Amino acid sequence: MLLSLQRSTVIFWKRLVCPKMIRSFHGVRSLSSLKEFTVQESLPSLPVPPLEQTLHKYEQSIQPLLGEEELQHTHKVIEEFKKGIGPKLQELLLERAKSAENWLSQWWLHYGYLSVRSPVVINSNPGMLLPLQKFEGEKEQLKFAAKIISGILDYKIMLDEKRLPLDKVGQQPLCMQQYNNVFSGCRIPGVNTDFWKKFSDSKPQHIIVISNNHLFSLQVFGKKNKPLNAEQIYKQLKTIKSESKHSTSPVGILTSENRNAWAKIHKKLMKDKKNQASLQSIQNSLFVLCLDKPMPLIQDPVAKMSMAGGMMLHGGGSEMNTGNRWFDKTLQIIIGHDGVSGLNYEHTSAEGVVLVSLIDHALDFCLQKKNIVLPAAGVQEPVKLKFNIGHDIQSAIETAKENIDSLIGDVDLTITDYTRFGKEFAKSMKLSPDALVQIALQLAYYRVYSEPCATYESGSTRRFKLGRTDTIRSCTVPSYLFTRAMDDTGVPVNEKLQFLHQAIQTHKNLINDAISGQAIDRHLLGLKLIAIEKGMNIPNLFMDTAYATSVHHKISSSQVSSKYNCSMNFGPTAPDGFGICYNCQKSHILIAVSALNTSPDTCSKKMTNSIHQSLTDIYHLLQQEPPVSKL
C-alpha cells in the first residue's frame, strides 16, 4: 500500500520540487536604511492565479484526505467546473482585479471577520504571553506597565514620523499598511455585520486603562505632542489604582458576547449621552492597558504557563479578568499583578507579525538603560469613564458573564517549551525550521488518530499591496508518506530520511506558492464569492464533500516568531480540531496547543505530548543522516 502510493506520486513530487527556493515568509527582517512606505505604492497587486493551475493543485492537495472513490468523483467535479462555469468566474475575477488595489481585501475583511457573528474572544482574537515577570507588589506591576507604555509610544512616534524600518523578505519589500492599523482602531458591533474604524483623523492622544473593571482615559501626550515619560505614566497609573480599589460592574464583558447581541446592547448604550461619550473615548483611544488581578497560585510550570496564556486569550472568566477587557480594540496590553503579562488583539486589521514587531520594540525599550525621555509638560489627570447602566444593561452583563464563562470553560489549552532543539539545529541540517515543525505536526496527528487531516498554516501575502494571508496546505502526499513510513519497522532509515526530505521540500514549495500569490485557497474563495456576488448558483465544486473536507482544518497553525520567549495562542477553528501556534527560538520551541473540552476526540495535552515525541523522533532520525561528502 505504502509503496503503491509512493509510485503513484512520482510525477506529483517531480512537479513540486523547485531547486531554487526563495526564503519563506517567516524570514521577515527589517532594514533600518529603508523608510516605511517608501515603496508602498510600487508594490504589485495580488495576482489571480491561472485557473487550471489552481484546480490541478487543489486536486493534488486532497489526495491524502480522501478514498479512491471520492477522488474519482471529485476529479469529475473538477473537470465539470473547468469546462463549465469555471472560466467565466475566472474572467469575472480578473475583471475585479483590474479595478481594485487588492481584489481580495474587502471580501476578506467582510467574510473573514466583520460578518462573523460568533464572539471574537477565543474564536478570532489571539492572545500573546510575554516572558513571566517577577513583581514584588503593585509598584513593580505599575513600573513595568509604565515602561511598556513608554516603549509603545516610542514605536508609535517612529510610525508617525515614517521612521519605521521597512519589512523585507530577501530583497523583496513587504506591504506595511497593517502597521498603520494598530493604533486608534476599533471594531464596532453592528447587526449582521460589524465595521472597523480607525480614528486617526481626530489625532487621539489618550489610552484606556482598565483596572478592577473601571475604565479610565489617560492622556499619554503632553504639550507640543510630547509623550509622557515612564515616571509620569507610573504616577498616573498609581492614581488610577487608588481610584479603582473595588471592583465594579464589568461593562467590558459585553464585548465578549455574540456580535448581534452586543450590537443591540451597544445601540442601547449609545442612546445615553454619558454612555456615548465613554464609548467614543474607548473606541478612538490609541490602545488599552489592562491592569489585572493575580492568577491562582499554581506550582506545576506547564499548568501555570497554560493558565497564563489563557489570561491573554480570554481573561480567565468573569470572576477573574475577562471583565477587565475591551475585546473590540485592536490592541490590549495586559499586565498582571503577579507578573503574568502579554496582549490580546482584535484580528480584523492586522496579522500577528505586526504585533510582534511592536511588542519586541517595547521589550527592547524596557531593557535599554539609556532611554532618557524628558518629562512632558501639561500632564492631565486620568478621567474615569462613566456609564449609566439600567436594569436591561445590567441583565445583559449578567448574561454575558454566563455565556463567556461557558465558552472559556470549553477551552483546553496547553503551552509548553520544547527544549531538545530549536531553529539552529534545523538550520545546521540545512532544513527550514518551519517546515520541520509542520511535518512534526503531521506525524503527531497521525500517531494519535491513524489518519492525516486537513491542515492550515498561515502564509503571508504581504509582497502585494494590502496583502494578508493565504493557506499553506501542510498535509501533502509526501508528508503522508513520511508519517506512514516513520513508525513502520520495515522501512529502512535511509528511506525514512528520503521521505522526510521530500515532505520538507514540498512544504517549502507550498510556502513559496503562498507568498508568491500562487496558493489556491484565496483564489477558490474568490471564485465562489464572485459567483454569489453575481447572483449565480454556487458551483458544485464548492458543494462537493472533498471541498468541505479540505477546508475543515483539524489543525489550524501559525508560526509567530518573537526574539523573546513569547507564546501566541488562539482557539481551534474546527470543533474537533486544534489551534497550534509556535515560536522557534535558537535552542527551543514554544508551543501552544488549544482544543475544546466538548470534543470527545481532542485533548491538548495528548496532542502536545505527541508533538514533543514527534519532534524528538525526527531529531534522532536526522542524527542518522550520513555526512555529506566534501569531495
Domains, the chain, ordered by start: 36-75+83-111+414-623 (3.30.559.10), 124-409 (3.30.559.70)
Does 630 score more than 70 pLDDT? no
Confidence of residue 23 (pLDDT cuts 50, 70, 90): very low
Pick the more confident residue, 409 or 164. Answer: 409
Query: What DSSP line would sit under 271-311, residue for residue?
Result: TSHHHHHHHHHHHTSS-EEEEEPPPPP--SHHHHHHHHHHH
Between 192-206, 328-342, 497-511, the lowest mean confidence (pLDDT) is in: 192-206
Rounded to an integer, the average pLDDT of 252-260 is: 98
| Max avg pLDDT among 171-185, 189-203, 596-610 | 596-610
Measure the CA–CA gap between 5 and 491, rounded to whole angstroms.
14
**pLDDT value at residue 3:** 35
pLDDT, tens digit, for every residue of 535-561? 999 999 999 999 999 999 999 999 998
Rounded to an integer, the average pLDDT of 623-629 is: 73
Does 9 score more than 90 pLDDT? no
347 is known as an active-site residue: yes
Closest by Cα among 527, 540, 524 to 90:
527
pLDDT, tens digit, for every residue of 481-540? 999 999 999 999 999 999 999 999 999 999 999 999 999 999 999 999 999 999 999 999
Does 35 score more than 90 pLDDT? no
**pLDDT value at residue 404:** 98
Measure the CA–CA gap between 321 and 304, rounded to whole angstroms.
16
Other C-beta atoms lying within 10 Å of the C-beta of residue 507? 27
Does 314 score more than 90 pLDDT? yes
Closest by Cα among 356, 385, 287 to 328:
287
pLDDT, tens digit, for every residue of 373-426? 777 777 889 999 999 999 999 999 999 999 999 999 999 999 999 999 999 999
**Helix 273-283 vs helix 259-270: crossing angle, to nearest 10:** 130
Does 13 score more than 90 pLDDT? no
Does 5 score more than 60 pLDDT? no
* Residues 285/206, Cβ–Cβ less than 8 Å: yes
State the burial class of residue 374 (Cβ atoms within 10 Å of its Cβ: 0-12, 13-18, 19+): exposed
Share of the chain above pLDDT 70, in %: 92
Does 349 score more than 60 pLDDT? yes
pLDDT, tens digit, for every residue of 262-313? 999 999 999 999 999 999 999 999 999 999 999 999 999 999 999 999 999 9
Rounded to an integer, the average pLDDT of 87-112 is: 97
Does 99 score more than 50 pLDDT? yes
Rounded to an integer, the average pLDDT of 21-49 is: 60
Between 109-113, 202-206, 413-417, 503-507, the lowest mean confidence (pLDDT) is in: 202-206
Measure the CA–CA gap between 462 and 167, rounded to whole angstroms.
9
Confidence of residue 34 (pLDDT cuts 50, 70, 90): very low
Half-sphere exposure of 96 toward its Cβ, with a 13 Å CA cutoff?
Answer: 23
Does 20 score more than 90 pLDDT? no
**pLDDT value at residue 217:** 98
Half-sphere exposure of 87 toward its Cβ, with a 13 Å CA cutoff?
Answer: 5
**pLDDT value at residue 567:** 95
Measure the CA–CA gap between 20 and 622, rounded to whole angstroms.
23
Q: Which of 347, 501, 523, 612 is catalytic?
A: 347
Other C-beta atoms lying within 10 Å of the C-beta of residue 265? 22
Q: Where are the beta strands (DSSP E) in 189-267?
A: 195-198, 206-211, 214-219
